[in-house]
Chains A and B, each alone.
Chain A
Amino acid sequence: MTLTLNHYLLVSGLLFSIGFAGVLLRRNIIIIFMCLELMLNAANLSLVAFSRFNVGADGLPNFNAQVLTFFIITVAAAEVAVGLAIIVALYRARQTTHVEDITTLKF
């Protein structure tokens, strides 16, 4: 069967919710961080799907979306670099990456 736009959107939706569930449930900060990247990639998938399926007047797919996908990927990379640096610094200071331990700031 030919893959329509809805299939891609379904997959990206699933990916997004899996990523979000990961952020909510997992204990380790690094795993949470990975799930966040997962959500970003879900957005990439749906972007590419949209640009592929609404073909412009001249028969070529609309390239704006794909430009945005590249930006998303680069930004995600930058975010990971900075994020991991912070997590490492936290580990060095507190010897833990578990989310329950870092709750000194409250109320």
Chain B
Amino acid sequence: MNNNEIIPWFILLNPLITAVLILFVFRKNHGTAATVSTMSAFFGLVGSLCAFTLAPTHTLVLWIDIPGLQIPIGVQLDHLSQVMLLVVTGIGFLVHLYSTVYMEHDESKARFFGHLSLFMFSMLGIVLADNFAMMFIFWELVGVSSYLLIGHWFTRDAAGKAANKAFMMNRIGDFGFMLGILMLWSTAGTVTFKGLEAATGTLTTNPMFLTAAILLVFCGAMGKSAQFPLHTWLPDAMEGPTPVSALIHAATMVAAGVFMLARIAFLIGLSPAAALIIAWIGAITSILAALMATQQDDIKRILAYSTLSQLGYMVMAIGLAPDPSGGPAMFHLFTHAFFKALLFLGAGAVIHALHHEQDIWKMGGLSKHMPKTTVTFAIGTAALTGFPLLAGFWSKDSILAAASEKSTPLYIIGLCVAVLTAFYMTRLFVVAFLGKPRTEAAHHGHDCPARMTVPLLILAVLSVIAGFVPEKWFFSAHQHFHWNIAIPATIAFAVGTAIAFKIYSGKDKDPIRVSAFRNKFYLDEIYGAIVAGTQDVLAYIANAVDSLISGIVRLAGMAAWGVGFLFRLLQFGNVQGYSFVFGLGVVGLIWFVVFK
């Protein structure tokens, strides 16, 4: 274990040690907890920067080692994980810095930072994992830490319910994920990615089986990255503190699904049917989320739906162009992490300034009093909507290029989503920042202290330059700039922004009211009905049947007692009766033996 193999282990275990320290040692003194956690995030960032320069290494420790099943805890530092490390630790550190101020007056701050470090540990575990089993382990740990962080203010019922919902959706996803792993493992005989790559021969013997296995593994990604059927938990996860939403529900955790798909891109490449289905699910999610985002009023919910929509984009990209070194999906994930974190933190700054006011129609005219936040938020919006030469433009462009080659309907959906994204983001910006302040709180909103605005500035810079990263980071093949995609994308951007600008500038309430979008296509109610219909009804029936079974058991006992009671009546006391029964017994016995 020479020194450059120790670095990834250090990056992985450093947040775990901090989490344990905070949760068990510094439970009471909140100050030290915050600083320790932020320092560890900083060391993580430094570590991953050094790791970026290292050659790919792969060291492992056998966690379970019994004949027939070897599950290693391994650290695989290759090109994909180096990039992802940068994203996770970078944004992680900034969010830590940001939340030292944001969570200033929270009475259980130590617990918050402990759970945050626990989350960092689990996320880094997914990034560095070299096999499916370890990835599944950290998959569940990420689910739990998101449960803990969403439910941070557990005294509020909404937070508790949202945390439960998030964990359940992840669990349903994990059900499919584990089944997929089992299928792949039982065929290939190993769980490590390298082993699976070597075993592609045996895997492709039964294409139907391979497609099913990949789709089941994708099921895990759907749960984690909130794809179409399992997406309703993400908007509710906004109950958690905003830094949590920024770190987990924008940049890192939700991207874990996409990262995992990138990790097994060589498998998806083997089965085109699975790739197509994945692409379509991504597309559906993005179009639905985009439509829903247009009608939301809560600033964090709009950003949540926009994340959903962008995630749909990335999953579509993976489906269309599964490229082992990441491809357009990872490029978009890379850029999206920065500007979405920026937008969330900006929103957090606004909420913090307006004393937890989240409804955009109660804001307005913030640009006068919060110049720095407004500028950074503007840059973030521009990057997200695809303003030319900014980060979003390049990554979205590469996805649309991939879409246009593979299937035109997906390309058209991609363009529509681009229009809608531009529309709702401009709507948000116009209503919240421009025009005149609508409420008293909006009047004297002021910029937040340095430790909150500095991360905003850094992220703003990153959102600008993120598009110009060298090609080989994400693409194995050479990418030429294709004009026939860039022009329609910019037109879509321009159209969306213009329409939103015209409709929403100077309005006091939302002119367009589409109830279907506003209450999220009634999906929550549908899911509630399904769960209530199947699970609770079945549980009720099961409980009734169970009391029936225990009733039968008691009945058997009572029947025995009853028979005993009847037999007892045979003892009626009269000697002659006894001798009569005696005689009856003799005659019966003789008949049974002699004549039968």
Q: List residues of A whose CB falls within 8 A of some B CB.
A: 20, 23-24, 32, 99-100, 102-107
Contacts and interface: CB of A to CB of B under 8 A. Distances in A.
Of the four ranges (under 10, 10 to 19, 20 to 34, 35 or more), the interface on chain B belongs to: 10 to 19
A23 to B, nearest CB: 5
A105 B573 contact: yes
Contacts of B574: 99-100, 103
B583 A106 contact: no
Contact of B572 (A23, A24, A32, A103): A103
Nearest to A17: B583
A28 to B, nearest CB: 11
Contacts of B569: 107
Contacts of B579: 23-24
B582 to A, nearest CB: 9
Given A20-B583, A24-B583, A106 B576 contact: no
A106 B575 contact: no
B576 A104 contact: no
Nearest to A25: B576
Contacts of B572: 103, 106-107
Contacts of A106: 571-573
B10 interface: no
A107 B571 contact: yes
Nearest to A27: B576
Contact of A107 (B568, B576, B583): B568
Given A20-B583, A24-B583, A99 B571 contact: no
23 contacts: A20-B583, A23-B576, A23-B579, A24-B576, A24-B583, A32-B575, A32-B576, A99-B574, A99-B575, A99-B576, A100-B574, A102-B575, A103-B572, A103-B573, A103-B574, A104-B573, A105-B573, A106-B573, A107-B568, A107-B569, A107-B571, A107-B572, A107-B573
A99 B572 CA distance: 12
**Chain A to chain B: the 4 pairs with minimum beta-carbon distance, closest first:** A103-B573, A106-B573, A99-B576, A107-B568
A55 B572 CA distance: 49
Contacts of A103: 572-574
Nearest to A106: B573
A43 B488 CA distance: 122
Interface in B571-596: 571-576, 579-580, 583
A24 B575 contact: no
A105 B574 CA distance: 9
A12 B579 CA distance: 21
Contacts of A104: 573
Contacts of B576: 23-24, 32, 99
A103 B573 CA distance: 5
B335 to A, nearest CB: 91
B571 A24 contact: no
Given A103-B572, A107-B572, 18 more contacts: A20-B583, A23-B576, A24-B576, A24-B583, A32-B575, A32-B576, A99-B574, A100-B574, A102-B575, A103-B573, A103-B574, A104-B573, A105-B573, A106-B571, A106-B572, A106-B573, A107-B568, A107-B569
Contacts of A107: 568-569, 571-573
Contacts of A20: 583
B449 to A, nearest CB: 91
Nearest to A100: B574
Nearest to A29: B575
Contacts of A105: 573
A20 B584 CA distance: 12
A24 B568 contact: no
Contacts of A99: 574-576
B483 to A, nearest CB: 106
A44 to B, nearest CB: 20
A105 B573 CA distance: 6
Interface string B348-391: 00000000000000000000000000000000000000000000
Contacts of B583: 20, 24
A24 B573 contact: no
Nearest to B580: A24
A32 B579 CA distance: 11
B579 to A, nearest CB: 5
Interface in B270-309: none
A106 B574 CA distance: 8
A32 B571 CA distance: 20
A101 to B, nearest CB: 10
A93 to B, nearest CB: 16
Interface string B172-212: 00000000000000000000000000000000000000000
A102 B580 CA distance: 16
A24 B587 CA distance: 14
A83 B307 CA distance: 105
Contacts of B580: 24
A106 B577 CA distance: 12
Contacts of B575: 32, 99, 102
Nearest to B574: A103
Nearest to B579: A23
Nearest to B576: A99
Contacts of A24: 576, 579-580, 583
Nearest to A36: B579
Interface in B520-569: 568-569
Nearest to A103: B573
A90 to B, nearest CB: 11
A20 B575 CA distance: 14
A36 B569 CA distance: 27
A100 B573 CA distance: 9
A100 B572 CA distance: 11
B151 to A, nearest CB: 65
Contacts of A23: 576, 579
Contacts of A32: 575-576
Nearest to B565: A107
A74 to B, nearest CB: 24
A14 to B, nearest CB: 16
Contacts of B573: 102-107
B209 to A, nearest CB: 71
Interface in B52-92: none
